[in-house]
Chains A and B, each alone.
Chain A
């Protein structure tokens, strides 16, 4: 430790902070003022980086590339707003999350189609490379200093606009009190729509870009105002016949009702056909000499059980958990750790997997369920990330590489998992059991309370039920089912050599909705 290192790391921290600020500034506007959960914010960042790189390479001029990249991203932002986001303002956070997650997938694929999957590298112009000797011994890359300067300039500009101009006053008024703001500026409707373009053109360091957020904050506020007004009107109508948070459940209710009212005979036929189909897969696959389909359907069934358990808390409990993958990881690690110490007894392994997942679900649930809505999403996501980093940092259990299972769980005298058919039917049995138990559960008194709490928490309370223990119980049950599943997944021949630890890694990745 010496002074130069401290100074240099301080600069590094400042530079990283400025980068994050540039990203967060736009998101704050969208989420903070417009109350729109835009998971695709990072996609616009990505689009900005790609466009700027593309234009830079096409024109050969760095400043021109950045400018065109900014303009291009702005256009993309406007299009996204017109096509997709505009329909989302009045909807629930859950709808926004799903729709913007779809946008992420869309943009990722689009970028892959247009530019390929490999990262594109670009070089900085000569006048931005190299380093500056700030004083004896402290050399710092010029480009990073430029990023800091640009970021601070943007921050200063934002501060000036928000704190010192009439526009800024209106924004602040809009953020804190919609009514007063509405009174002040009734002209807002006429003005331009908001687009999330301020998200775009942001630097992706890998591509070596920086950009200034274009804050058309007034537009943001106007847009938000118009929407809130509309929502209020709509809300007032809803309030008349439905309690406050009932609109979403009402939207889903018809589906649930029709499902429940499905002709019992038709239902029995569908179920039987499905079962027969699944049961027939191994002999058919064997006849066709295509063992691949056996594996495939088994994996589908395993994930179907995972979806069932998620449905219990999400579909019936109304808890949008992004941490569901964590229990899968915990279950896999339970099996892996026991195997690591030479314990291959499947009864013990699977029991521990279930118990460990249930315990983790209990802890996460006990904390998370105290929140709701978008905060619940965030906190479960945060827990998943914590577990993920815990997993990759335990060297004893494989760290980043995960664990390898040399021997599958053994169930002496019951079933041999090395026999693909036996394993398949075991998974099928688990699926049927999960369907049956799930069905009984959601139609039991417990399930009814859970569903009631979802559709109207206040009314449920007034009936004398506290939703918290019911939700927590559902959360723990779902976690335990996942633990069982992952014990099964870990025994999956394809997962086995591919490292158990890769599971917690792969899943939160998939679910964490990040731009990589």
Chain B
């Protein structure tokens, strides 16, 4: 089974399975990178918000693993919530130095918009994971400007496979690809590499697994290798939303590399070797 998105900690650790590979990330990875950024910048008094579900808690745990400063408050909102005004009022009254959030998909759009509308954008710097991406930018536009995110991939990552992917995607769909697309694209390449390695003999499961562990394909993220738990070992970058070309939506740009060849925090619990 090939996963190309969510990476719950159970699957990376105790419940890992030799038949499961993912081309995305373990949930904790990305917030760990953001926690490190904020820790390194010496930011204290952080206000944390996330939706109340498994990934939301993984994200906050990951953040807390590398961020050691004071956390003013940890607020979990209902999954799929569309109105954050009450929580934003609460946030303002706590007067934190910075805010860290995880609001994927539509929740992120609502949250960012309301964050700006409430006038909090200029008041408290906002750091996020999986909240601003190429899907939400066209919807929130300038409300995302200046936003910091950490991620394993970005459209401006300089490697041949990625440049080909980004330009092919833009040609076909006329918009910027998003990381969900990149990791799924990698997933197909991974399957392709394994099928080639066993010469189409799909009954050879051992051969398929061995081939997949090698991750022998040109990933959009450049160098790509698998850890023992079949989760990627990869780099994480700090991205910032900046003004795009004249007349177009803002774009995300890599600022610096946060982690090099980062391994997730659970692989040691995984019995696979």
Contact = CB atoms under 8 A, between A and B. Distances in A.
Interface in A471-516: 516
Contacts of A371: none
Contact of A205 (B80, B83, B92, B106): B83
Given A12-B85, A123-B139, A400-B53, A5 B93 contact: yes
Nearest to B110: A206
Interface in A125-176: 129-131, 133, 139-144
A121 B119 contact: no
A2 interface: yes
B117 interface: yes
A15 interface: yes
A81 interface: no
A123 B83 contact: no
Nearest to A401: B54
B77 to A, nearest CB: 11
Contacts of B89: 5, 8-9, 12
A144 B118 CA distance: 10
B139 A121 contact: yes
B117 A119 contact: no
A405 to B, nearest CB: 13
Interface string B48-77: 000011100000000000000000000000
B203 interface: no
A15 B86 CA distance: 11
A9 B90 CA distance: 8
B79 interface: yes
A8 B92 contact: yes
Nearest to B118: A141
Contact of A121 (B86, B106, B116, B117): B106
Contact of A144 (B52, B82, B85, B110): B85
B114 interface: yes
A4 interface: yes
Contact of B109 (A121, A131, A139, A401): A121
Contacts of B116: 129
Contact of A400 (B52, B90, B119, B139): B52
A118 B139 CA distance: 13
Contacts of A139: 92, 118-119
Interface residues on A, range: 20 to 34
21 contacts: A1-B93, A2-B93, A4-B93, A5-B93, A8-B92, A8-B93, A16-B83, A121-B139, A123-B139, A123-B141, A131-B118, A141-B85, A141-B114, A141-B118, A141-B119, A143-B117, A144-B85, A205-B82, A206-B82, A206-B110, A401-B54
B76 to A, nearest CB: 9
Nearest to A404: B10
Q: When A and B form their complex, which 5 residue pairs have the shortest distance between CB atoms, in order from nearest?
A: A5-B93, A131-B119, A141-B117, A8-B89, A139-B119
A246 interface: no
A139 B123 CA distance: 11
Interface residues of B, number: 23
Contact of B79 (A1, A119, A400): A400
Contacts of A9: 86, 89-90
A133 B93 CA distance: 15
Given A129-B117, A399-B52, A119 B85 contact: no
A141 B115 CA distance: 10
B117 A401 contact: no
Given A4-B92, A8-B93, A9-B89, 4 more contacts: A130-B117, A140-B118, A143-B117, A205-B83
Nearest to B94: A5
A282 to B, nearest CB: 26
A86 B90 CA distance: 48
Interface of B: 52-54, 79-80, 82-83, 85-86, 89-90, 92-93, 106, 109-110, 114, 116-119, 139, 141
B86 A12 contact: yes
Nearest to B136: A121
B182 to A, nearest CB: 20
Contacts of B53: 400-401
Contacts of B139: 121, 123
Nearest to B123: A139
Q: Which of B52, B85, B109, B110 has the most CB of A within 10 A?
A: B85
B6 to A, nearest CB: 12
Contacts of A400: 52-54, 79
A148 B126 CA distance: 28
Contacts of B117: 129-131, 141-143
B241 to A, nearest CB: 16
B269 to A, nearest CB: 16
Interface in A1-45: 1-2, 4-5, 8-9, 12, 15-16
A406 to B, nearest CB: 9
A5 B90 CA distance: 7
A121 B52 CA distance: 23
Interface in A251-281: none
Contacts of B118: 131, 139-141
Nearest to A206: B82
Contacts of B79: 400
A400 to B, nearest CB: 5
B102 to A, nearest CB: 15
A146 B54 CA distance: 37
A144 B119 CA distance: 13
A400 B50 CA distance: 13
A428 B115 CA distance: 55
A15 B89 CA distance: 13
A399 B57 CA distance: 12
Contacts of A140: 118
Contacts of B141: 123
B203 to A, nearest CB: 16
A339 B131 CA distance: 36
Given A123-B141, A141-B117, A399-B52, A15 B93 contact: no
A15 B85 contact: yes
Nearest to B82: A206
A371 B235 CA distance: 63
A131 B92 CA distance: 14
Given A5-B90, A139-B119, A119 B106 contact: yes
